[in-house]
Chain A
Amino acid sequence: MNLVKRLGLPRIIIIVFFVLLWFVAGAKSLPVPLLMKDSLVRIGMNLIMVLAMVPAIRSGIGLNFALPIGIICGILGGVMAIEFEIIGLAGFLYALAIAIPLSVAFGWIYGIMLNRIKGSEMLVSTYVGFSIVSLFCIAWIVLPFTSDEMRWPIGEGLRTVVSLESTFGGILNKFWAIPFSNGFIFPTGLILFGAFICLVYYLFSQTRVGIAMKTVGDNPKFAAATGLNVDRYRILGTILSTVLGAIGMVVFAQSFGYIQLYTAPLMMAFPAVAAILIGGATAKKANISFVIIGTILFQGLLTISLPVASSFFEGGNISEVIRMIVQNGIILYALAQGGGE
């Protein structure tokens, strides 16, 4: 009973639906072990981007629809690694080493901006996210990259999709991966890395600064009366969110095996937003358990619902349509309803 109350009715319904889908998948003789592997991989590759929502919500700027800022930084890190032909684990770390300072700088500037538009952060952030993606559409053409891996064979600029196969694709997924005889593979490295980042964030949230940031988000007036510099902690929250977005993107790319440039990051904030909301967060309240529950449910649902839906409806693009309905439906529902406790 207590668990039901803690999770909240919406999550119970979703969990029941989720479990039901797995049974249907079994009954329809879909390859369950493979689907499970896909689910785990998708959970692992999205986890950090969902976590990126937490510092934003905690510091009071709400859901960070401007996550593409961090994502672009992550992409920049990735393409730099390719440009300088740093491969394997070193390439992955190099991508992070480039992405993190960049995202700190971008996050800082963006945080200053958010302090000037208090009260309408979420609306503005949506458009800031769109704008930065458009800006970088130009950048991908004009930036002086020389690697043949990335450039169009003829013409100017980088390709829309860059393969990571020869650099750091799957570096985490393959790390200590445990294969089973039925086709299921446990992506140990990916899951461990996600868990590690969550742990680091959890420890941060227990420090004086982490608590101060949450205080600012909970009640700015109270925070001011406690001698905290509200604007500074909001900037800190924005920076953390952007940095996590960048790390999340590098992890996402290595698992995906490709970096998608141009308009691909445009909508990437939305699955992350949907996941944390489905986990029970609101625009004002979030913690790591919401991130984990939300990512499992949302990414798990997407993975399982597509083949199940396709097995009912023949052919065409129906599964993509259903994905859009599920994802945006969840955002809408969660913004209209309260979360768990």
Chain B
Amino acid sequence: MQNEYVLQMKDIQKEYYGNHVLKGINLNIKPGEIHAIVGENGAGKSTLMNILFGMRVIHDTGGFQGEVIIDGKKVIAKSSEEVMQLGVGMVHQEFMLIPDFTIAENIKLNREITKENFVSKTFNNQSLEFLNRKLMNEEAKVALDTLGMDIKETTKVAVLPIGHKQFIEIAREIDKKGIKLLVFDEPTAVLTESEAENLLKSMKVLANKGIGILFITHRLDEVKSVTDNITIIRDGEHIKTVETTDVTVEEIAGLMVGRQITISQNEDMKSASEMDALDTILDVKNLKVHMPGEEVKGIDLEVKKGEILGIAGLAGHGKIGIANGIMGLHKASGEVKFKGEPLAIQNTKDSLAKNIAFVSEDRKGVGLLLDGSIEDNIMITSMQVKRQFLNGLGLINKPKVRKHALEMIEQLDIRCTGPTQATRRLSGGNQQKVCLARALTQEPELLFVSEPTRGIDIGAKKLVLDYLTMLAKDHNVTVVVTSSELAELRAVCDRIAIIAEGRLEGILLPSAEDVEFGLMMSGEYHKYKGGNS
């Protein structure tokens, strides 16, 4: 019996601790259809996939509402194995291959073809059977041929280039019997252009065999070139499902970013003439940062004194790497001038001493001494770098530390039992305020803030953002905010630099059109608009 759809997801809703992350997503995929899901980071794509595959994190947090129907059967999956048995395969973003196994062995992993032997017959136990390598190799070859891969199936995976590894992953999925739907989670992210092209071709081949394909990606031109239908998700909401032929890349980008309603746009941003009048405080030339997962591949950027500059971009494209590189937390090269003088970017202490402060995106890993008290966390950088909070004997001046901590707690409204409470016990928002308090204690001229509102509640978000605005306006601190939440940047920034593929794609004003943000973030601005902004 042929069902009309291989996958239907009906009115999927999900909340994490009272926070609605999916608000009614509908998805219908026919056999042989290539269907794209596009959306910004945090739009809810991965949550949707977690629901489809019955991941534990979903059940542990109270399940979801709505229906998942795979090949005509309503499914409430408890594990991904269950879903895979129904004919759904997943091609992962990271490779899950064993380097010292051959291609065939990897493809057949955990589904090995075996043949009986003396021992297995004696004990009547299948797990003691030998591998039937001949048959395994033959079947692996068929899978590889389907993908148009001309490569020997007995090669070890370790020696293959990255592009090929991606294909092995796919070959493994299509080798499974009765595969009906394949999910590609950003498969082209690590591939070169020609490899990506090959991959898209084989996706079409697979679709022609009647396999439904769910394609998750940020690259809008790929979406445009191979898919039949596109579903756009924004902030957990199902914005639109359209036929690919009916929309342009610009329209997709516009729908993807959208205008968010919760936080309005920065109303008193500086005008163009005001901006021009400002001095340059930080001049970055050809900055390269070797930060795993957030590689920066050569960026030129000027930061004006007293402005709030936003840095936006998709996850993994390098926006996070910029502040980390300038502060010397990751290997970096390039020429950086601070107030006209060269800055030794590999020397963290020197940068801190020059009144540059940094609030890390990794709050728990880098940003806090989790077992330390609030007051210790607040004073420590100033004490170490500027030798403040010490008495005449070189010992810590505890009354002074306490007084300052109490001031900061009041000023930033840190909710705690007192200045000696360990920061581990604070909520995310209050932890972030402690990080900010430490940066402010340094009395910075230039403040880097990365992901200031990640994982904190809406009230704390507003306070943090207001505080950044206040710093820039009243204390003339230059603030560079790196954030994945474009809406926030548009609410507080004077200018927003967009990073794509480790490079500066362009600088936009907060008032720019949604389409422009969308295009720039996918690195396709110049293709469609031309020129260098």
Interface positions of A (Cβ within 8 A of B): 203, 206-208, 211-212, 215, 218-219, 221-222, 224-228, 285
B396: A residues at CB distance < 8 A? 206-208, 211
A212: B residues at CB distance < 8 A? 384
Q: Which residue in A207, A219, A222, A285 is a CB contact (below 8 Å) of B394?
A: A207
Query: Complex formed: what's the CA distance from A227 to B387 in Å?
Result: 13
Query: Complex formed: what's the CA distance from A222 to B365 in Å?
Result: 7
A226 to chain B, nearest CB (A): 5
Cβ–Cβ contact A219 & B390, under 8 A: no
Contacts known (A203-B395, A206-B395, A207-B395); A228 close to B369, Cβ less than 8 A: no
Query: Complex formed: what's the CA distance from A224 to B395 in Å?
Result: 22
Query: Complex formed: what's the CA distance from A113 to B376 in Å?
Result: 30
**How does the 8 Å CB contact mask read for B353-371 relative to A, with 1 for contact and 0 for none?**
1000010101001111111
Q: Which residue in B366, B368, B380 is a CB contact (below 8 Å) of A211?
A: B380
Chief secondary structure at chain A's binding surface: helix
Cβ–Cβ contact A228 & B384, under 8 A: yes
Q: Which residue in B350, B366, B370, B372 is a CB contact (below 8 Å) of A225?
A: B366
Residue of B nearest to A225 (CB): B366
A226: B residues at CB distance < 8 A? 348, 352, 380-381, 384-385
Q: Which residue in B369, B381, B385, B395 is a CB contact (below 8 Å) of A219?
A: B369
> How many B residues, CB 8 Å from partner?
31
Residue of B nearest to A206 (CB): B395
* B454 contacts the other chain (CB 8 A): no
**Nearest 5 A/B pairs, CB to CB:** A227-B349, A227-B348, A206-B395, A221-B366, A227-B352
Query: Complex formed: what's the CA distance from A225 to B348 in Å?
Result: 7
12 A-B pairs with CB atoms under 8 Å apart are A203-B395, A207-B395, A208-B394, A211-B380, A211-B383, A211-B396, A215-B380, A218-B372, A222-B366, A224-B329, A225-B358, A227-B349
A221: B residues at CB distance < 8 A? 362, 365-366
B168: A residues at CB distance < 8 A? none
Cβ < 8 Å to A, chain B residues 492-525? none
Contacts known (A221-B365, A221-B366); A208 close to B381, Cβ less than 8 A: no
Query: Complex formed: what's the CA distance from A203 to B353 in Å?
Result: 26
B376: A residues at CB distance < 8 A? 211
Query: Complex formed: what's the CA distance from A226 to B395 in Å?
Result: 19
Interface positions of B (Cβ within 8 A of A): 327, 329, 347-353, 358, 360, 362, 365-372, 376, 380-381, 383-385, 387, 390, 394-396
Query: Complex formed: what's the CA distance from A203 to B387 in Å?
Result: 17
Q: Which residue in A203, A206, A219, A228 is a CB contact (below 8 Å) of B370?
A: A219
Known A208-B396, A218-B371, A227-B385; further 4 A-B contacts with Cβ < 8 A: A203-B395, A207-B396, A211-B383, A225-B348
Query: Complex formed: what's the CA distance from A206 to B396 in Å?
Result: 6
Residue of A nearest to B352 (CB): A227
B460 to chain A, nearest CB (A): 21
Cβ–Cβ contact B369 & A218, under 8 A: yes
A241 to chain B, nearest CB (A): 21
B361 to chain A, nearest CB (A): 11
B369: A residues at CB distance < 8 A? 215, 218-219, 222
B353: A residues at CB distance < 8 A? 227
Q: Which residue in B329, B348, B351, B390 is a CB contact (below 8 Å) of A208?
A: B390
B275 to chain A, nearest CB (A): 31
A341 to chain B, nearest CB (A): 10
Interface centre among A203, A206, A226 (most CB of B within 10 A): A226
A41 to chain B, nearest CB (A): 33
Query: Complex formed: what's the CA distance from A221 to B349 in Å?
Result: 14
Interface centre among A207, A212, A215 (most CB of B within 10 A): A215
A207: B residues at CB distance < 8 A? 390, 394-396
Query: Complex formed: what's the CA distance from A224 to B372 in Å?
Result: 16
Query: Complex formed: what's the CA distance from A123 to B13 in Å?
Result: 50
Cβ–Cβ contact B327 & A225, under 8 A: yes
Contacts known (A206-B395, A206-B396, A208-B383); A224 close to B371, Cβ less than 8 A: no
Query: Complex formed: what's the CA distance from A54 to B354 in Å?
Result: 34
Cβ–Cβ contact A224 & B348, under 8 A: yes
B380: A residues at CB distance < 8 A? 211, 215, 226
Query: Complex formed: what's the CA distance from A208 to B389 in Å?
Result: 9
B473 to chain A, nearest CB (A): 27
Query: Complex formed: what's the CA distance from A30 to B40 in Å?
Result: 78
Query: Complex formed: what's the CA distance from A180 to B371 in Å?
Result: 46
A66 to chain B, nearest CB (A): 25
Cβ–Cβ contact B366 & A208, under 8 A: no
B327: A residues at CB distance < 8 A? 225
A224: B residues at CB distance < 8 A? 329, 348
Cβ–Cβ contact B385 & A285, under 8 A: no
B16 to chain A, nearest CB (A): 27
Cβ–Cβ contact A222 & B367, under 8 A: yes
B292 to chain A, nearest CB (A): 14
Query: Complex formed: what's the CA distance from A221 to B394 in Å?
Result: 25
Query: Complex formed: what's the CA distance from A221 to B329 in Å?
Result: 9
